[in-house]
Amino acid sequence: MPIISMFYGVIIRMYLLDNRQHHKPHIHARYAEHEVVFDIENGEILSGEFPRKQTRLVQAWIELHRDELMADWELAISGELPYKIDPL
């Protein structure tokens, strides 16, 4: 699972060939012991729990980089490595 970005202690990853579990374009975020799956299209949490501050940071980052995330999603579900995306 490639790391596509890191900021303020949050690690953002995107699994390859990962379009079956949540059936939506999404990213996996980790902060300390917390793991969450965020919907790329609207920034909502699909599963897991995150502290409020880190949730807002990731949602702001998604908003800024949605087009890049969708391009990475297309690569990832095709089995190709996604590109790194600038941190927040």
List the domain boundaries for the chain.
13-77
The pLDDT, as a whole number, for residue 80 is 94
Q: For residue 53, give the H/E element and its range.
A: helix 52-77
| Span 31-47, average pLDDT | 97
pLDDT tens, 50-79? Answer: 999 999 999 999 999 999 999 999 999 999
Tokens linked to 84: 């790194």
Percent of the chain scoring above 70 in pLDDT: 97
| Of the candidates 61, 62, 8, 55, the residue with the CA atom closest to the CA atom of residue 36 | 55
pLDDT(22) > 70: no
| Span 22-48, average pLDDT | 94
| Span 10-28, average pLDDT | 87
